[in-house]
Amino acid sequence: MNHFELRDGELHCEGVPLSRIAASVGTPVYVYSAATLRRHFNVFRDALRSHPQIGEPLVAYAVKANSNVQVLKVLAAEGAGADTVSEGEVRRALAAGVPADKIVFSGVGKTRREIAFALATGVAEINVESEPEVKLIAEVAAELGVKAKIAFRVNPDVSAGGHAKISTGKAENKFGVSFAEAARLYANASNHAHLEPIGVACHIGSQITDLAPMEAAFRKMRGLVESLRAEGLTVERLDLGGGLGVPYFNQPEPPTPADFAAMVARVVDGLDVQLAFEPGRVIAANAGILLAEVIHVHERPEGRRFLVLDAAMNDLIRPAMYDAYHDIRPVKPRGSETAVYDVVGPVCETGDTFTRDRPLPVLAGGDLIAFMSAGAYGSTMASEYNTRPLVPEVLVDGDKFAVIRARPTYDEMLAREMSAEWV
């Protein structure tokens, strides 16, 4: 459930009509609902907590899904931890008030500097993705004179995820170590003066709408915990990653957080381990929309009808990158007449097409539309391609709204570039 609804003939975010935001901030603009973020986080965590086999989980929100510090603050206030993949994300989580001992640091290519920063910060766990990385972490920890808390990210070789580009749990993907490597590396690390292996982790993909591959991967992870313990090794934490899918309108209905939690409870029954989760999309996707204005409708003599928007692939790249589907809704629907559109942006790429042959209510220049379910992997993947100012973000809470990332001016954009004396 989310808080984007038609009221008095106009789409609102909670108590705020979207046209008010467009008039005040301009378009394109991302709009997030704080109430929806809170609700999604609590539904997810409460579903897990309701199972005694799970206990009190660490729910480390995947910052990459939507990393605005104000969004993180809303979630931190509910008790969220943070799953991060760069020094920048760790800094964002800290700036939002997420305690360091709830921050998980993942990612296949952490640099020496990033590792040093994470260790100095005292993050809860660094998820190690390869043997060279264990060596690097050990080296940096020794230099700093600390003991690094690490978990091994294991690649369970299970196929899952809504698109090949977001499937991460197959042996051919770059993420994590194999089960055999994990056992050897874990044992070695536990004898190292500057490493403290505390657990194992997995994340098999994103936009997963079927629990079966997740369950298969989690069962393998349970087996790994048991075999490590049988070797006399201590395993305190099992991090089961993120990946739960969301309804993008025309796609298979994903399992609910309650279904997911019941499956996890079955798998971990009797294991006695602290569980961690890294949900991103399921928290943020349906808590945000991208609001855009129709520039004009271009009807080609060959018969195609292009709805040209002021939003483009640089603002929301998911359709171009993953063939993703976003429901498109008029902010002020008029009547029931529909027409078939190719919905495009102004960027000079044929890939700047949000959808083709989509029946939509009849629209005209000046109308506002909303791309629904755009709160995750929307603004975080935006760019300034074609020298289009980075899309701003607005947070709504009840009847209030605030700009939480400003649209840069052209002067600001150009001022970032430096002159080379010799040009």
Binding site for ligand PLP (CB under 6 A): 62, 65, 83, 106, 203, 206, 241-244, 278-282
Q: How far is the CB of 162 from ligand PLP (least distance, A)?
A: 9
Sheet strand arrangement including 16-17: 4-7, 10-13, 16-17
Q: Pick the closer one to ligand PLP by CB: 45 or 203.
A: 203
The answer to whether the beta carbons of residues 407 and 391 sit under 8 Å apart is yes
Q: Pick the closer one to ligand PLP by CB: 206 or 355.
A: 206
Annotate the chain with three-state secondary structure.
CCCEEEECCEEEECCEEHHHHHHHHCCCEEEEEHHHHHHHHHHHHHHHHCCCCCCCCEEEEEHHHCCCHHHHHHHHHCCCEEEECCHHHHHHHHHCCCCHHHEEECCCCCCHHHHHHHHHHCCCEEEECCHHHHHHHHHHHHHHCCCEEEEEEECCCCCCCCCHHHECCCCCCCCCECHHHHHHHHHHHHCCCCEEEEEEECCCECCECCHHHHHHHHHHHHHHHHHHHHCCCCCCEEECCCCECCCCCCCCCCCCHHHHHHHHHHHHCCCCCEEEECCCHHHHHHHEEEEEEEEEEEECCCCCEEEEECCCCCCCCHHHHHCCCCCEEECCCCCCCEEEEEEECCCCCCCCEEEEEEEEECCCCCCEEEECCCCCCCHHHCCCHHHCCCCCEEEEECCEEEEEECCCCHHHHHHCCCCCCCC
Q: Pick the closer one to ligand PLP by CB: 104 or 396.
A: 104
The answer to whether the beta carbons of residues 107 and 86 sit under 8 Å apart is yes
Q: How far is the CB of 206 from ligand PLP (least distance, A)?
A: 3
Q: How far is the CB of 278 from ligand PLP (least distance, A)?
A: 4
Q: How far is the CB of 62 from ligand PLP (least distance, A)?
A: 3
Q: How far is the CB of 408 from ligand PLP (least distance, A)?
A: 27
Q: Pick the closer one to ligand PLP by CB: 62 or 395.
A: 62
- Tokens 């359709």 label which residue? 319
Q: Pick the closer one to ligand PLP by CB: 113 or 174.
A: 174
Backbone angles phi, psi at 286, to 5 degrees: -85, 10
Q: How far is the CB of 294 from ligand PLP (least distance, A)?
A: 30
The answer to whether the beta carbons of residues 313 and 320 sit under 8 Å apart is yes
Q: Pick the closer one to ligand PLP by CB: 45 or 281.
A: 281
Q: Pick the closer one to ligand PLP by CB: 57 or 242.
A: 242
Out of 348, 418, 420, 423, the active site residue is 348
Q: Is 348 a catalytic residue?
A: yes
Q: Pick the closer one to ligand PLP by CB: 106 or 379.
A: 106
The answer to whether the beta carbons of residues 20 and 14 sit under 8 Å apart is no
Q: How far is the CB of 229 from ligand PLP (least distance, A)?
A: 24
Q: How far is the CB of 85 from ligand PLP (least distance, A)?
A: 7
Task: Quote the crossing angle between the two packed helices 257-268 and 34-49, to the nearest 10°.
Answer: 30
Active site residues: 348
